[in-house]
Amino acid sequence: MTSFPSLDRIIAILADAVAGLAAFGILVVVLLQVASRLLGWSIPWTEEATRYLFVWMIFLGLAAGFRTVESARVTFFIAVAPRMIRRLALPIYVVSSIGFFLLVVWTGYGVVRLQLIMNETAATLAVPMWLIGGIMPASAVIAILAVIESVRQRPGLIAVPDDALAAGDPASDHPDTPASRRTP
C-alpha cells in the first residue's frame, strides 16, 4: 500500500508557507509603518493590515503545529493514568482534536456567511471581510488534514512510549535524555 506522499507536502504549503508569508507580511508592514512615522507621515491601513495578517498567521500556525505534532499535550497525566487510559491516549487525542476543529469549521462558516450577507469590508483596506474571516474555517480544515496526516506519519510523537509510561517518566525515552537516566 502506497501512501499519498504529497498530502503532507500540500498541508505544509498551505499551513507553513502561507503562515510564513503572513509573518513576512507583518514584518514588511510594521517596518513601513515605523519608517513612515519617522518621516513624519503615517499610513492609516498599516495597523489594520498587521492585525489581519496576524490573525492569518495564528490560525495557519495552529494547523502547522498539529501537522508536526507540536501541539500541547499533558503527558504527565497520561503517565500516571491506568493502562487502559494510556492505550486510549492516541484515539482521545485524535477525536478531541478533530472534534475541536470541526467546531471551528462550523463557527467559522457562520462568521463568513454573516460577513458575506452583510457585505462587510475592512475599514481602511477596502477588502471584503470574508477574506479575513475565511481563514478560520479554512485553517480548521487544514488542521483536520494535518491531524490525520500526523497520525499516519508520526504516531510515535503523539503517544507517549509504553516503557516511558511504565517507568512513570515521560521523558525517559527522549533522545536528549542521557543514557544513564533512561529506563531499561
- For residues 9 and 11, give the distance between their C-alpha atoms in angstroms, rounded to a whole number: 5
pLDDT attached to residue 170: 47
CA-to-CA dists, residue 97 to 36, 43, 51, 79, 137, angstroms = 43, 40, 26, 20, 14
* 150 within 8 A of 73, measured Cβ to Cβ: no
Per-residue pLDDT of the chain (184 residues; tens, 9 = 90+): 445 557 778 888 888 899 999 999 999 999 999 999 999 998 989 999 999 999 999 999 988 888 888 776 666 777 788 888 878 888 888 999 999 999 999 999 999 999 999 999 998 998 999 999 999 999 999 999 999 988 888 777 777 665 554 554 444 444 444 444 444 4
- For residues 127 and 119, give the distance between their C-alpha atoms in angstroms, rounded to a whole number: 10
Please, which residues bridge with residue 128 across strands? Answer: 121
Q: What range defines the domain where residue 63 resides?
A: 6-168
pLDDT attached to residue 177: 43
pLDDT attached to residue 74: 65
| 44 found inside a domain | yes
| 175 found inside a domain | no
Q: Is 74 exposed, middle or buried (0-12, 13-18, 19+ CB in 10 A)?
A: exposed
pLDDT attached to residue 178: 44
- For residues 78 and 177, give the distance between their C-alpha atoms in angstroms, rounded to a whole number: 19
pTM for the predicted model, two decimal places: 0.76
| 181 found inside a domain | no
Give the closest residue to 81 by CA, choosing from 183, 159, 182: 159
Structurally, the chain folds into a number of domains equal to: 1
| 178 found inside a domain | no
| 76 found inside a domain | yes
pLDDT attached to residue 36: 93
| 177 found inside a domain | no
